[in-house]
Amino acid sequence: MSETSQERPTVLVVDDEEDLRDIMRRMLDRRGFSTLVAGNAEQAVAVCKDHAGPIDVLVTDLGLPGVSGGDLARSATQVRPDMGVVYISGLPKDIAISKGLIAEDALMVKKPFTSDLLLEALRLILAEKASAT
């Protein structure tokens, strides 16, 4: 029997810091997620276009070089409209909202964060997606 996306959700992690990207990938793999990674917005959009299976959630840093995580999320969700988004930022959420980087209803995890906080955000997005179908 083949694994479905529900059994092992696929998460695309986008961060320009390779160490942080690698830590998140390993943590998510250990917690039962299938993980794709990208170091910038161009790579992330390419992964969205080229990956054969579903991508359930995009986890992106808000402060990517040359483009905000919010801009990346808009581009990526045009390619993958069913994909959920979790933002990561050192900025407080109210400041990110006031700068127009994310919407008020966006799900954001503030750096530094624990693996439990990130997992909780992913579970929220996956539960939201499951109830919408």
Strands (DSSP E) contained in the chain are 10-14, 34-38, 57-61, 63-64, 67-68, 84-89, 107-110
Alpha-carbon gap, residue 6 to 126, rounded angstroms: 9
Percent of the chain at pLDDT exceeding 70 = 95
Q: Residue 1: its pLDDT value, please?
A: 38
Q: Residue 5: its pLDDT value, please?
A: 43
Nearest to 18 by CA among 26, 30, 9: 26
Domain 10-127 sits in CATH at 3.40.50.2300
Alpha-carbon gap, residue 109 to 90, rounded angstroms: 9
Q: Residue 129: its pLDDT value, please?
A: 86
Q: How do residues 44-102 score in pLDDT, each as one tens digit?
A: 999 999 999 999 999 999 999 889 999 999 999 999 999 999 999 999 999 999 999 99
Q: How do residues 93-123 score in pLDDT, each as one tens digit?
A: 999 999 999 999 999 999 999 999 999 999 9
Four-residue CA torsion sign, 97, 100, 105, 110: negative
Q: pTM score, two decimals? A: 0.92
- The helix (H) or strand (E) run that includes residue 49 is helix 41-50
Output the six-digit token pair for 19: 């160490």
12: β partners: 36, 58
For the chain, the structural domain boundaries read 10-127
> Residue 3: is its pLDDT beyond 80?
no
Place of tokens 């993980």: 35
